[in-house]
Amino acid sequence: MQKLDNLSFDTQHIWHPYSSISKPSPMHEVISAKGVRLTLKDGRQIIDGMSSWWSAIHGYNHPRLNQAAKQQIDQMSHVMFGGLTHQPAIDLARKLVDLTAESLQYVFFADSGSVAVEVAIKMAIQYWMAQGYTNKQRLLTVRNGYHGDTFGAMAVCDPDNGMHNLFDKVLAKHLFAPAPRCQTDEDWHDGDIKGFRSLIQRNHKKIAAVILEPLVQGAGGMRIYCPEYLRQVRQLCDQYDVLLILDEIATGFGRTGSMFAYEQADIYPDILCLGKALTGGYMGLAATLCNNKVAQGISADGKGVLMHGPTFMANPLACSVACESLAVLTRSNWQKNVQDIEQQLLTELMPYQNLPLVKEVRVKGAIGIVELNQEIGDEMGWLPAFIVKQGVWIRPFRNLIYIMPPYIINAEDLSQLTSAIGKIIEALTEKMATKI
């Protein structure tokens, strides 16, 4: 039997995220990465505008993160967290408790963002069960949200326009308010919270928690909304005795301009989900933090053991790299870097607002989004190769072209990314015109 080359074997045997085995997406093989550049097998270098799905905030092959991984692997790469503990997990928990809101004092380590959301949902439901409110098992969220690919997380993603409507009949049924429309506090009007307020007023006796992505909704539509909406939600949760879960897996660790997005609203959650950038993109690790009310409340009936425990929970290798990643972040000038990226994105992306194919341009921190008037169809199989030809890596989906570059990117490389977006829009315009 003839041995297949790498890409042929990949096409025939490997399932990639959101892909079809019968109609596989074109692939480019990466052989190394450094800074903001990925090196392909054919020798080309491309600027990564995605930070490996928003996680590689320091870029690639960072010497301090490399060293942290090398030092830890010589001690132990993993040990079970049941009945045992270790220094990297303790150090990381200390850092997370120090970085987050003062009320968030308890840390549960998970191995992915989706699992962090699952744990948060379990925390909320177990809390109310321990209080004797066994009917409080539903969640309230907003449309256009995305919280992960596991079943509990899928159930709080947008049920109609999200990526998981295929599973609608088997998912738990939750409550969905209209997505907020105000992009800044100056745009705020009470009508934005009206639908949410009505749902929590009518259903609070069966709602365990509200779950939201603060300020920026990620894969559900890359929508930006104002801090005042979060303030209103926090107030309503307090008024109607409902827990607040904030999913900062995408927005945490500086992406929106503050360490955590909730800081811009001057509020804090009862439960907080973190992930993605936690290890600087080196390996999977996530965390769910909660306040004393939740942690002690779960045990209020005398038997409340939090029912979750991943095999690779608090992996020492991942925790060591995460500790170093947070040290690199907090000792850097990350705030100015993100502000500079935001200003350049505004300057270079906003002109695209005038193009016929463009519906809206949005920028928040180190996030730049161009929303098109129509979806990029599955027939656009030429697009990945076209993007790579521009010397960049951008991964559009549906009707969105967006970038979330590493914080270390310089102005010249960022301009290449924003220029490539213009070329993508131009090429899409021409292709769509030939179909009419």
Q: What are phi and psi of 162, to 5 degrees?
A: -80, -175
Match 């990526």 to its residue by tokens.
163
Instruction: Report how far apart, in Å, the C-alpha atoms of 267 and of each of 175, 214, 230, 270 are.
Output: 23, 11, 8, 10
What is the bridge-based pairing of β-strands 138-142 and 175-177?
parallel
The one catalytic residue among 95, 136, 276, 364 = 276
CA distance 297 to 227: 29
276 counts as catalytic: yes
The one catalytic residue among 5, 18, 41, 194 = 18
160 and 176 Cβ atoms separated by less than 8 Å? no
The one catalytic residue among 60, 106, 127, 146 = 146
432 and 362 Cβ atoms separated by less than 8 Å? no
CA distance 282 to 171: 32
The one catalytic residue among 247, 270, 282, 402 = 247
- Which strands form 367-372's sheet, in the order they lie side by side? 358-364, 367-372, 400-403
Taking the CA of residue 184 as centre, how many other CA atoms within 13 Å lie in the half-sphere pointing to its CB? 5
Instruction: Report how far apart, in Å, the C-alpha atoms of 292 and of each of 207, 273, 298, 378 are.
Output: 20, 16, 10, 48
Give the 3-state secondary structure of residue 411. helix
225 counts as catalytic: no
**And the tokens for 359?**
């519906």
Phi-psi map region of 356: left, alpha, beta (phi>0 left; psi -120 to 50 alpha): alpha
Q: What sign for the dihedral angle of Cα 142, 247, 312, 129?
A: negative
Amino acid, single-letter form, for residue 267 = I
Report the candidate in 35, 46, 49, 36 with the shortest Cα–Cα distance to residue 417: 49
Q: Which residues contact 128 (CB under 8 A, 6 or more apart)?
A: 134, 136, 137, 208
Instruction: Report how far apart, in Å, the C-alpha atoms of 59 and of each of 219, 285, 329, 398 are.
Output: 21, 17, 12, 26
Among all residues, which ones are annotated catalytic?
Answer: 18, 146, 247, 276
